[in-house]
Amino acid sequence: HSHLLGIEPLPPSAISEILDLADQYVALNRGDMKHAEALAGLTQINMFFENSTRTQASFELAGKRLGADVMNMAMQASSIKKGETLIDTAMTLNAMHPDLLVVRHPHSGAVDLLSQKVNCAVLNAGDGRHEHPTQALLDALTIRRAKGRLHRLNVAICGDIAHSRVARSNILLLGKMENRVRLIGPPTLMPSGIADFGVEVYDDMAEGLRNVDVVMMLRLQRERMDGGFIPSEREYYFRYGLDAEKLAHAKDDAIVMHPGPMNRGVEIDGEIADDINRSVIQEQVEMGVAVRMAAMDLLARNLRARPREVMA
Ligand code: CP
């Protein structure tokens, strides 16, 4: 593969290859010398058209730890504000010969479109409601390390599924690796036709969480709810917020995950989020750096192996 645009095109073997390499980078990141040379001589540009804490910071750190020259475009201060289009901005940056472009954009499909216009490797850091592939990969690595396997697990994804690229990428990845995925949330926040993805759908937390190995909580993504149904926070927490009582329906050793940013007291109780015996939220962040190192390393190997086309 020359880009990482989504989980959808990846075969299970490619997913395992990224996770296996990421495992090696976890060890490097825990060591005293957090540096390798896999991206030495390469230039990485991060273009985030939407806010980010975890994804942007970890892509930057991942590139630096692998020896790349990393540039963060301050999109709020760029000429996008003067009316330049996404494609013109991308073509301008492309003329500076980057090797890796990391892009987050509010519109589904925007990163895919951009990848067709540039002659470097493009990584999708989240596009609209479409995909967030490195998030699903870091979630998969967290699950594999906590549970010792990434197949035949019962995984519940809870909350605002309709607006979530994280849910979509996770549903695709967990399905490819032969896990059973349950979606739990209010029917108003369930995408239509979701049953076609081979998932089970519940609107009751107690029922949906019964005997699951993994509980993945999602934030209400108000920024994508353009005028539609927005539940009150109190009501939402009462029915769908993860607290000790609801978590008791899951397996005794079930892990609790959240991609962040989390809203304590809305979709998750603060004590559950901080419970080091159940919550792997901090491990997810740690795995994020390692997975992004692995993804960029593998794309760079591909770049070095093939002469690049010169685009008009
Ligand atoms: N999980 C995630 O994508 O977080 P950020 O929006 O902070 O990058």
- In this predicted model, what pLDDT tens digit does every residue of 55-102 receive, in sequence order? 999 999 999 999 999 999 877 777 777 788 889 988 999 999 999 999
Does the annotation place 219 within a ligand binding site? yes
Ligand 1 atom 5 nearest Cα: 52
Residues 69 and 290: their CA atoms lie apart, in Å, by 18
**Which pLDDT score is estimated for 138?**
98
Q: What is the best residue among 51, 54, 289 to mutate for testing ligand 1's pocket, by most ligand atoms within 8 Å of CB?
A: 54
Token pair in block for residue 171:
């549903």
Output phi, psi for 256, to 5 deg.
Answer: -110, 130
Q: In 15-32, which positions are buried (b, 16+ CB within 10 angstroms) versus exposed (e)? A: beebbebbbebbebbeee
Residue among 159, 253, 240 nearest 211 (CA): 253
**Nearest atom, ligand 1, residue 50 CA:** 6
Q: Is 310 helix (H, G, I), strand (E, B) or coil?
A: coil
- Summarize pLDDT for 170-198 with one digit per residue, the tens: 999 999 999 999 999 999 999 988 888 89
* Residue 244 near residue 272 (C-beta atoms within 8 A): yes
In order of 34, 35, 198, 201, 286, the CA distances from 30 in angstroms are 7, 11, 38, 39, 10
Q: Which residue has the tokens 């997913």?
A: 15
Q: How far is the CA of 32 from the centre of ligand 1 (A)?
A: 27
Residue among 6, 195, 9 nearest 108 (CA): 6
Q: How far is the CA of 61 from the centre of ligand 1 (A)?
A: 15
Of 78-92, 103-117, 155-169, the poorest mean pLDDT is in: 78-92
Q: Is the CB of 54 under 6 A from ligand 1?
A: yes
**Which pLDDT score is estimated for 309?**
61
Q: What's the average model confidence in pLDDT over 9-24?
A: 98
Percent of the chain with pLDDT over 90: 84
Q: How far is the CA of 308 from the centre of ligand 1 (A)?
A: 31
pLDDT level of residue 226 (50, 70, 90 thresholds): confident
Over 50: is that where the pLDDT of 280 sits?
yes
**Which pLDDT score is estimated for 312?**
42
What is the average pLDDT value for the chain, to the nearest integer? 94
H helices of 161-309, in order, are 165-176, 205-208, 233-240, 244-247, 270-274, 281-305
- Summarize pLDDT for 255-276 with one digit per residue, the tens: 999 999 999 999 999 999 999 9
Q: Is 137 helix (H, G, I), strand (E, B) or coil?
A: helix
Ligand 1 atom 3 nearest Cα: 55
Q: What is the ipTM of this complex?
A: 0.96
Residues 144 and 20: their CA atoms lie apart, in Å, by 10
